[in-house]
Amino acid sequence: MTMAGIRDDLSEVVTLLVDEPREVVITEGSGDQGPRLDLSVAEGDLGKVIGRQGRTARALRRVLAARASRGETPWELKILDD
């Protein structure tokens, strides 16, 4: 799957979680171990994306890891807390 497809899929999931879907921004970056997706949401939605004890954030990262296990490029997810 292309980078745009992964970004679009992640955006679709995150917009369902937040109250301000128009504030969801996903950009490409470069991480320590390869490509990275930087996720930014409205300040009030940050807790919804991270979840209790980081469970939601871990689940989003697992989705990206599952794609990598099928032979796709492994992507790191960074949640920005501007």
Walking along the chain (82 residues) 10 residues at a time, the average pLDDT comes out as 76 94 92 87 95 95 83 85 78
- pTM here? 0.86
Within 13 Å of residue 47, how many CA atoms lie on the same side as its CB?
2
List of residues 6+ apart from 71 with CB closer than 8 A:
none
Instruction: Report phi then psi at 63, rounded to 5.
Output: -60, -45
Q: Structural domain boundaries of the chain?
A: 3-80
Q: Which CATH architecture has domain 3-80?
A: 2-Layer Sandwich (3.30)
Per-residue model confidence (pLDDT) at position 69: 75
Q: What is the pLDDT of residue 27?
A: 93
